[in-house]
Amino acid sequence: MSRVDLVYLNEEDMIEAGVKDMSKCIDCIEDMFVLLQKKDYRMGGEHANEHGIRVSFPKTTDIEGMPTHKPDFRFMAMPAYLGGRFKIFGIKSYGSNPDNAQKGLPRSILMMQLLDATTGAPLAYMSANILSAMRTGATSGVGARYLTVKNPKTVAIIGPGTMSRYTLDAFMSAQPSIDTIRIKGRSQRGIDSFMTYCKNKYPGIKKYVVCNELVEVCKDADIVFYGTTNAAKYEDNPTVKKEWLKKGALVISASALLVDTEFLSDKDVKLIADNYEMYDEWGEGQPLPTQKNVSTLLGMGFYDAVREKKISRDSITEIGEILIGEKKGRDREDQIILYAVGGMPIEDVAWGHDVYQNALKKEIGMKLNVWEIPAL
């Protein structure tokens, strides 16, 4: 039994194998969060919570052919093991270059490799752009499934890009009562593209409201989603204030969001994180504020407030604690909830595993032979 084969799944194969099934993806990510809470996972780093390994380039170089630094130009490898029903190891890798658009390519090109967690033998190599977008949306979708008020009607979208499209898909899957979308974007083109997507996919949406200011877009929203790219200056990144929000609002941030400690420490506000230990590891030994010096993610804002003793660590609930029944999600209908999402490679491994298994059942993809008998 020394023969090793792997399955190659291109983007069309991934779609045929169900990578766009948002309801199943949310179920999958929910299973992943349970395993995260039970510690049945490993990511990189000493404490198994690293996001990945980043390769960047110098600002200037005398080496011929060496790329130079520019915003959003990077290469990443994101390894992880996930146990439970998955029991698999995977590595998502991607290159990101904003100049790709000039060549008709997406800014980021992602691939996913799955390996046997015991032998290390390759099982699958797959296109991962849609997979990554789906798991990102589904992570917020788990929040929408468990943390919103009953029958939410209005969603606010700040940053109507690709991530927000898939996140809205997750919201619609988790809460089909939604009938109003409020939007704030940086360009009319982006807003128009997002609205066209929504109108084509969700004809049941009754109302769209385009807003110029954050305070306006947050008004009356049951779910507020922040999905912007980083601003050039830290101080120009978006924020949210309690007085902007209706009672019972759920605020989900998968990108930059600056929140003052007075808001974070408010007794009427509940803080929930996808994986607080990850932010704790990122921030350890780094100068404050780590939200400026390490990452603009909301989770780093939670971490800074803990380090500054503005809030206690116990005031932050892990989403996994809610899913396994150790803690409540929403305590009351008028409670405001802030849910910090950072993204983890175990999400890619989980959804990649399920799509791969579906591909095997349906005999989708191309089988590639690694060897019949290893030469070494």
In SS3 terms, 77-100 reads as: EEEEEECCCCCEEEEEEEEECHHH
- Sorted by where each starts, the structural domains of the chain and their CATH numbers stand as 4-131+346-371 (3.30.1780.10), 137-344 (3.40.50.720)
Helices 162-174 and 188-201, packing angle to 10 deg: 30
Q: Reduced to 3 states, what is the DSSP secondary structure of residue 228?
A: coil
Strand partners, 124: 7, 114
| Joined tokens for residue 226 | 């922040």
Collect the ranges in the chain with pLDDT lower than 50. none
Q: What is the pLDDT of residue 229?
A: 85
Q: What is the pLDDT of residue 1?
A: 66
Q: Reduced to 3 states, what is the DSSP secondary structure of residue 218?
A: helix
Reading phi first (left if > 0) and then psi (alpha if -120 to 50, else beta), residue 80 is in beta
Residue with the two structure tokens 């503005």: 310
Q: Answer whether 338's CB lies under 8 Å from 273's CB.
A: no
Q: Reduced to 3 states, what is the DSSP secondary structure of residue 85?
A: coil
How many angstroms from the chain centroid is the CA of residue 286? 24
Q: Answer whether 132's CB lies under 8 Å from 190's CB.
A: no
Cis preceding-peptide flag for 345 (omega within 30 of 0): no
| Joined tokens for residue 184 | 């704030």
Q: What is the pLDDT of residue 164?
A: 97
Q: What is the pLDDT of residue 237?
A: 95
Longest Cα pair distance anywhere in the chain, in angstroms? 67
Question: What average pLDDT is seen over the chain?
Answer: 96
Q: What is the pLDDT of residue 230?
A: 87
Count Cβ atoms within 10 A of the Cβ of residue 34 and give its class: 0-12 exposed, 13-18 middle, 19 or more buried: middle
Cα–Cα distance measured from residue 252 to residue 143, given in angstroms and rounded to the nearest whole number? 8
Please name the residues in contact with 133: beta carbons below 8 A apart, sequence gap of 6 or more: 162, 163, 165, 166
Q: Answer whether 305's CB lies under 8 Å from 73's CB.
A: no
Q: What is the pLDDT of residue 228?
A: 93
Cα–Cα distance measured from residue 251 to residue 156, given in angstroms and rounded to the nearest whole number? 9
Q: Reduced to 3 states, what is the DSSP secondary structure of residue 285?
A: coil
Q: Reduced to 3 states, what is the DSSP secondary structure of residue 224?
A: strand
